[in-house]
Amino acid sequence: AQSVTQPDIHITVSEGASLELRCNYSYGATPYLFWYVQSPGQGLQLLLKYFSGDTLVQGIKGFEAEFKRSQSSFNLRKPSVHWSDAAEYFCAVEGSQGNLIFGKGTKLSVKP
Amino acid sequence: DAGVIQSPRHEVTEMGQEVTLRCKPISGHNSLFWYRQTMMRGLELLIYFNNNVPIDDSGMPEDRFSAKMPNASFSTLKIQPSEPRDSAVYFCASSLGRRSSYEQYFGPGTRLTVT
């Protein structure tokens, strides 16, 4: 069965520092992968998605993610974090029914 | 567009009471999803509809939970009777299609507390 692991429950970075959030997936074929962000008290918003092609995908708000099949990873990155990026981030993979299977999430705190 | 609308935003009820959560999807979207978010289990898909028809309800925890979509603009998730372990945030999402290649748009959620 498909699954997603986000190893880091909580990460704190300083404003202006770079960010990398880890995501590992379990899937037999080429996965469809997603990153969503959830701000406090809000629903989830899609940041970016990977279906095929270029393994480096660009998303909204300056985020990017790189698909690495050999490592079964789809890590999210941002070169310079802003205070407004403080939120919870969810990696997801498409399940066999076309639904989304989410990781447990990584909460990002940003220090001034 | 107003986005996905959920009501109520917060619900506090006593164990044994019936709870009804409501969702209005984005106009034109033909797929609707109900998720539950808890600290322990994360974000879980409960059920989803395509063209108002339930496609997969394998995530519905037990018979106390039921969901309906009487038309393209309205869905309900009902818990009867409610239990403290049902306390969670319930999200509704809609999309143009059932496959994940169509972006899912999430509502703000309903925070349910069962005492």
Q: Do B56 and A94 touch (CB under 8 A)?
A: no
- Stretch A52-80: mean pLDDT: 94
- Do residues A63 and A92 lie in contact, with contact meaning Cβ atoms separated by under 8 Å? no
Q: Tell me if A31 sits within 8 A of A91, measured CB to CB.
A: no
Q: Which long-range contacts (CB under 8 A, 24 or more apart) does A75-80 make?
A: A75/A20, A75/A21, A75/A22, A75/A23, A76/A19, A76/A20, A76/A21, A76/A23, A76/A35, A76/A47, A76/A48, A77/A18, A77/A19, A77/A20, A77/A21, A78/A18, A78/A19, A79/A18, A80/A16, A80/A17, A80/A18
Taking CA atoms, what residue in B is nearest to A39?
A: B108
pLDDT at site B102: 81
* A-to-B residue pairs, Cβ atoms closer than 8 angstroms: 51
A49 in reach of chain B (CB within 8 A): yes
Q: By the CB < 8 Å criterion, does B108 face chain A?
A: yes
Least confident of A53-57, A108-112, B22-26, B65-69: A53-57
Q: What would the pLDDT profile of A76-107 be if each residue is shown by its tens digit?
A: 999 999 999 999 999 999 887 778 899 999 99
DSSP B13-45: E-TT--EEEEEEPPTT--EEEEEEEETTTEEEE
Element (H, E) at A19: strand A19-21
Mean pLDDT of A66-83: 96
Q: Is the Cα torsion angle B110, A99, A101, A53 positive or negative in sign?
A: negative
How far apart CA A35 and CA B20 sit, in angstroms, is 30
Among A residues 9-48, those touching chain B with beta carbons less than 8 Å apart: 32, 34, 41-46
Question: What integer pLDDT is reported at residue A93 of this predicted model?
Answer: 92
Distance CA B20, CA B76 (A): 7
Residue from the list A43, A44, A99 with its beta carbon closest to the beta carbon of B100: A99
Give mean pLDDT, residues A38-64. 92
Of A41, A43, A104, the CB nearest to B91: A43
Contact of A8 with chain B, judged by CB distance below 8 Å, is answered with no
Nearest to A78 by CA among A5, A20, A14, A28: A20
For residue A40, pLDDT over 70 is answered with yes
Model confidence at A27: pLDDT above 80 = no
- The reply to whether A104 touches chain B by the CB within 8 Å rule is yes
Strands B110-114 and B10-13: parallel
User: Across the interface, which of A99, A104, A105 has its CB nearest the CB of B48?
Assistant: A99
